[in-house]
Structure 1
Amino acid sequence: MSTPRRTAPDRGRTLLGPALRLIHTGQAPTRSALTGALDVTRATAGAVTGELEALGLISVDSRPAGGGRGRPSHRLAVADPGPAVLAAQLHADGVSAALAGLGGRLLETVHLPLPADTTPERLLGAVAAAGAELARGSRRRVLGFALALPNPVTEPDGTALAALHFDWPSGTPVADLFAAQVAGADLGPRARTAVPTAVANDANLAALAEHRHGAGRDARHLLLVTSGHRGVGGALVVDGRLHTGSSGLALEVGHLTVDPLGRPCPCGNRGCLNAETDTDALFAAAKRRPDPGRPLLAQARELARDPEAADAVEHVVDRLGLGLAGLVNILNPDRIVLSGLHLDLLAAAPDRLAAVVAERCLWGRSGRVPIVPAQVAHAGLVGAAELAWEPYLDDPQAVLAS
């Protein structure tokens, strides 16, 4: 029995996801660019963009854009207004939540202090409530909700390990608890009946955001290292996909030892990158105390730019360089993106950081890896939005589900 030939509409539907990803990441700003990227005919590209537009996900400019060689082409953009997802991020000292559209855009963002009770159910309930308030106040249809966590998250079960900032028991079933809290929240009449949820490590999600929308674009092996409100995280993107290891626990760079006699780390060891290059480490090196009434990260970033703290900055930069060199020796990335406080340390002492990495790197100065600042604001939130959008980037027709 012969296999039936696939019709043009069937082929077009299999291209919906790849086409939406290209438009979502800005790689196909016109129908002509999409035609070339997908390697299809103009007619097929037109059919694909027409269906994505009918789904309410993109807009197609009715007037072709000129100015180049060849036939003018129609501009493509994510729909505005269009559907949205909810994204949230837990920090050591607060909660952030946002309504997010396609294209890496945060539409509305709120930052809240941690509740007095940070047990898993209460804290995740506060996150769900913050997202629900955003959803009820929007006219957009909410399709999903994802959360970035400042601790390792196992795959595929979604349990939190070593949630040191909140004293959660190791193995807390955070994915299930978060799904239950969202299911019990009032997201308003425009949300999906059953909103899909997801959780992941914040550094992994920040790397995803930078790779798709920021300083990591076009990198084949992208290493991201970041220090947020406390601690240090890292992530690796290889050929466009996060490398998370066998169970989601790869790239815990914060527990790489850079000074065996250094500061104690919450993990029980001493001198971890986590304890030597975060906000607390910078204040300790500068022999200053932060104002408890202000966000810690904002104060640390100001301190990194203070000329009177130059010695402290160099001390922390040297420790960061040691850690980066070790990671380069193991991972051989083609680009390193620094974010959070590390972005400010790079700006304060770019030559010193590069020199330390080059001196300790196996390839030395002849194999220097570019170290660049992150470009995506609130990258953890943007990455959480990417996670929430993922089912629809894989299958855009899933937006039709009730």
Structure 2
Amino acid sequence: MNGKATTTRTKLERGRSALGPALELVHTGRAPTRAVLTSELGVTRATAGAVAAELEALGLIRVDSSPGSAAGSQGRPSHRLSVLEAGPVVLAAQVHADGFRAALVGLGGRIVATTPGCVAVMADPAQVLGEVVGAGAALLRASGLRCVGAGLAVPSAVAEPDGTALNPLHIAWPAGSPVRDIFTACVREAGITGPAFTGNDVNLTALAEHRHGAGRGAQHLLCVATGHRGVGGALVLDGRLHSGSSGLALEVGHLTVNPEGRPCHCGGRGCLDVETDPLAFLTTARREPGPEESLLKQAGDLLRAEYDDPAVRHAAEELIDRLGLGLAGLVNILNPDRIILGGLHRDLLEADPERLRAVVADRSLWGRSGSVPILPCTLAHNSLVGAAELAWQPVLDDPLAALA
């Protein structure tokens, strides 16, 4: 083989190996132009142009034919890059204590369509997952879009590698339910193509926020969030979820923050799970939970609308102090560079940010906890977006192989 042919093949292989990293850069908004893509990939302008053209040919991104440049930039304007709005989607599904929902999610974390949230979660996981996948399949038929995979978020630790929900405390599913196998079977029965994945809802919240929301740019991101019931946590290290040796890391809901507190579902007492979740807030505020709306919505609405009420303010301060105690312990152990809070915890942060940060700083072992940024999550339906990230990952890893 002559030298020219060898060089051409080498360039082609280098370009193809850059397809995945390039797509992830556009997907996460870190390469808005071809010039930035060139810099981030560390390749020539010609290679970056060829990579962008290949991703466009695959129907994944759009290369704007009228170049533009960012304000204050110098030199020749560069072609703009964006995900293709009419491109493929993935099916994302979420189950929580107060219902379930399906959505179609495109690249860039963009929610294309969602079903109305359902408020009944049956004790048979196969029935629930069959219904949510069926609803998602109806969205797909109506959209006419290509589906390349499916992801599911559940309110339980999901053991790896078997994909079982070890102990779904807040829904009436049997412990050890094979949720990944059930979900995969439902996806196949609905005629949906592509691989199917399952993960813990707060893990997926953290992944979505790291790629598209408040966690963008963090190297050691700690996420703590209330679900509709209970509390979960997740850690993203260098862009990847840290799930431990078998998928069970960061079960922060079972940190004790009030030794004399409420009995917890885990058998302990005074855990974050029962001391800082929506039910704990409503109870502490002396409000009787109603059956018509989710506990998360009831708690959030009460906090925002009646914060001046002494009982509501007292409840907020009590939960903030407990949450701060738990966060300080996690900071001392994990040393994150950013903390993001979701669900009711986001609302508590916004109600009194200085109180929460002061509690965390006061409990720091080295006086550094007070300097860790604590931010609210920013994405709507972040667990759904995170479930979609699971399904998009094979495409991000190797677009050619995944779409073949």
Bin of the TM-score, shorter chain as denominator length: over 0.9
Determine if the alignment matches structure 1 residue 18 to structure 2 residue 17: no
Q: Where does residue 41 of structure 2 map in the other structure? A: 38
Question: Counterparts of 1:1-400 in structure 2 under 5 Å?
Answer: 7-66=10-69, 68-115=73-120, 117-187=122-192, 192=193, 195-305=194-304, 306=306, 307-308=308-309, 309-364=312-367, 367-400=370-403
Gaps of 5+ in 1: none
CA distance in 2, matches of 1:72, 1:354: 43
CA distance in 1, matches of 2:373, 2:104: 33
The answer (yes or no) to whether the contact 1:94–1:111 under 8 Å persists in 2 is no
Counterpart secondary structure, 1:144: strand
Counterpart secondary structure, 1:280: helix
Shift of 1:181: 1.2
CA distance in 1, matches of 2:142, 2:402: 20
More displaced 10-residue stretch of structure 1: 19-28 or 159-168: 159-168
Shift of 1:170: 2.1
CA distance in 1, matches of 2:123, 2:110: 29
Which deviations, in whole Å up to 9, do the C-alpha atoms of 1:14-65 show, x marking residues without a partner?
Answer: 0000000000000000000100100111100010001000000001011111
Quickly say closer, same or farther: Cα 1:138–1:115, change in 2 above 3 A.
Answer: same
CA distance in 2, matches of 1:169, 1:347: 37
Counterpart secondary structure, 1:112: coil
Quickly say closer, same or farther: Cα 1:214–1:354, change in 2 above 3 A.
Answer: same
TM-score normalised by the chain length of structure 1: 0.95
CA distance in 1, matches of 2:114, 2:237: 30
The answer (yes or no) to whether the contact 1:35–1:41 under 8 Å persists in 2 is yes
**Amino acid in structure 2 at the alignment position of 1:120:** P
TM-score normalised by the chain length of structure 2: 0.94
Shift of 1:399: 4.5
CA distance in 2, matches of 1:147, 1:102: 17
CA distance in 2, matches of 1:232, 1:10: 46
Gaps of 5+ in 2: 1-5
Shift of 1:177: 1.1
Counterpart secondary structure, 2:109: coil
Quickly say closer, same or farther: Cα 1:116–1:364, change in 2 above 3 A.
Answer: closer
Counterpart secondary structure, 2:394: helix
Q: Runs of 4 or more off by more than 6 Å in structure 1?
A: none
The answer (yes or no) to whether the contact 2:360–2:369 under 8 Å persists in 1 is no
CA distance in 2, matches of 1:266, 1:126: 28
The answer (yes or no) to whether the contact 1:119–1:166 under 8 Å persists in 2 is no
The answer (yes or no) to whether the contact 2:20–2:395 under 8 Å persists in 1 is yes
Counterpart secondary structure, 2:116: strand
CA distance in 2, matches of 1:329, 1:117: 40
Quickly say closer, same or farther: Cα 1:95–1:359, change in 2 above 3 A.
Answer: same
> Identity of aligned pairs, percent?
63
Shift of 1:302: 1.4
Shift of 1:391: 0.5
CA distance in 1, matches of 2:114, 2:253: 28
**Amino acid in structure 2 at the alignment position of 1:197:** A
CA distance in 2, matches of 1:10, 1:113: 47
